[in-house]
Structure 1
């Protein structure tokens, strides 16, 4: 397997809406065979994609492509961190946060075109308590919604919005103590988001000014919400104006430590990870190669 011309496609067969498109057939038809050889493998369980990605990188693959949603992209990217193999994305999820940030087309055929004609660049990644993330991680309400969403049979933006509106005013704010750039912030916390990329997915921008290559995390702190502030927060996220509103505060840093008296939920790239009373969040500069549009 030559590094210069081989692509591995890792397909999550359970990801995204079910339709009649045969992804493997479209890959075989549209991938530039003069430029690349390829193989296609399928995940069979959670945690399988990182193994398949690491195996491909060790064999010298030029690109390993995640075919799925944000969870699949996170797993494949984890297997490629600090390697010479680039991540490619064929978006097939409900949010597609990293694909949207990198301006990778959501349509399958056009996304394959990016593999044929795109370029490789390096981006930052982050980690929260040792768990890598590539778009956002967070503690508080967004992690709580991730936990509820994960157990919901219905997917998609409408389901996510319905859950948020149902739960937002019932969620209990918790006190946190955060150390950011040598300053200690002691406050109630509705959500504290650590943004490497600008959005969660579905064009919901939690940190519209975030730059995925600048060597910094954009920390978004929302302290307390009433109904009016919750509606304003939602509107600002969808119009990329949250940074200019009074609903949130922002900090730029490479390292955050957070301590809580009560266990708080946390997530990485929308995947619920559990609860903790201590969080260590770090930025890993230019640690992942990705295939992006020219």
Structure 2
């Protein structure tokens, strides 16, 4: 099943047709299901009948938040071999949540403006090029279980942002109609406006509990990583911690305990150079976490894999090993 978010930045009707055709021509995507008609909602030009070539590829299109999770869960229940999320990181998060714990594998196609998880896997940022890597991975049967993060019962693929980071994502989503066209400039604008007027930079917003550091109300914003990098600025990865990755057994939490611009910019500049942020007085760094709690009497904002989920007074994290099977992309011959 190919789950398409047609509102995502780089998803077009033309790309969807190309992706569908290439998936249908693969060698090991799925077993034909006689009489099982596929449904295509993505575009009138996409074939609406089951592919009569090697494989059965069903296309469905999302039109609201949570839709991809419902489609993915239903696909897993019906015994699909692979469910592919074609959209931004939020779409991928929903697909992973829908199939976690099942025998159905997760496939990734970049369709958003940043596509952190797909690029972390080494995929091109162009979906027409990336589908060749995905098909090659399926044909090689390179499908392996990976761990995911989980917070308040919901999975995340690469990170959860808490505090200032999430407030910036909220500001971007309030201007969501511009996101498809402006991309990174919109995030920069939202970051500056949130810094100046939209976030208290004087009082800590939450307390971190987990690891061997003391519990103190000192958090202004936290990134809880399941993979690294945290995000990309253009083609440059923002490398927060080499201790985070799909080959690791726990989460990494990096908390800024100040909102001084000089301290934050110094750490982020180091992250752009690679190797992760350097230890500093304004950073609380915790690694190999199986569990973590972030809490405060007053609710604070948070986001999962780039989707703002509102505010809460408590977040309970855990690392879930072997949560989902992943199709690892392979460089085509």
Does the aligned pair in 2 maintain the 1:177–1:184 contact within 8 Å? no
**1:117 CA drift (Å):** 1.3
What SS is found at the alignment partner of 2:223? strand
Does the aligned pair in 2 maintain the 1:10–1:67 contact within 8 Å? yes
Alignment partner, residue 9 of structure 2: 16
Alignment partner, residue 222 of structure 2: 192
Q: Does 1:212 align with 2:242?
A: no
Q: 1:58-137, aligned counterparts within 5 Å?
A: 58-118=77-137, 119-137=142-160
- 2: distance between equivalents of 1:243 and 1:33? 41
Change (3 A) 1:43 1:181: same
Q: Which stretch shows the higher mean deviation, 243-252 or 147-156?
A: 243-252
- 2: distance between equivalents of 1:182 and 1:200? 23
Change (3 A) 1:30 1:103: same
Alignment partner, residue 229 of structure 1: 263
Alignment partner, residue 165 of structure 2: 142
Does the aligned pair in 2 maintain the 1:169–1:226 contact within 8 Å? no
- 2: distance between equivalents of 1:284 and 1:124? 5
Alignment partner, residue 4 of structure 1: none
Q: Which stretch shows the higher mean deviation, 241-250 or 253-262?
A: 241-250
- 2: distance between equivalents of 1:198 and 1:165? 24
What SS is found at the alignment partner of 1:174? coil
Provide, for residues 113-168 of structure 1, a one-character-per-residue CA deviation record: whole Å limited to 9, x for no partner. Answer: 12221121221111222222111012111111111111113221121122223333
Q: Does 1:165 align with 2:174?
A: no
What SS is found at the alignment partner of 1:132? strand
What SS is found at the alignment partner of 2:8? coil
Gaps of 5+ in 2: 30-54
Which residue of the other structure, out of 19, 27, 30, is the alignment partner of 1:27? 19
- 1: distance between equivalents of 2:222 and 2:20? 43
Does the aligned pair in 1 maintain the 2:301–2:311 contact within 8 Å? yes
**1:220 CA drift (Å):** 0.5
Q: 1:260-271, aligned counterparts within 5 Å?
A: 260-271=296-307
- 1: distance between equivalents of 2:231 and 2:114? 4
- 1: distance between equivalents of 2:249 and 2:293? 17
Does the aligned pair in 2 maintain the 1:114–1:293 contact within 8 Å? yes
Change (3 A) 1:144 1:178: same
- 1: distance between equivalents of 2:64 and 2:253? 32
Q: Which stretch shows the higher mean deviation, 206-215 or 189-198?
A: 206-215
Change (3 A) 1:59 1:229: same
**1:70 CA drift (Å):** 0.7
**1:248 CA drift (Å):** 2.7
Does the aligned pair in 2 maintain the 1:168–1:230 contact within 8 Å? no
Structure 1 runs of 4+ with >4 Å offset: none
Alignment partner, residue 44 of structure 1: 63
Tell me how many residue pairs correspond in the alignment: 286
Alignment partner, residue 179 of structure 1: 209
- 2: distance between equivalents of 1:123 and 1:210? 13
* Structure 1 vs Structure 2 CA RMSD: 2.0
Does the aligned pair in 2 maintain the 1:243–1:250 contact within 8 Å? no
Change (3 A) 1:232 1:168: farther
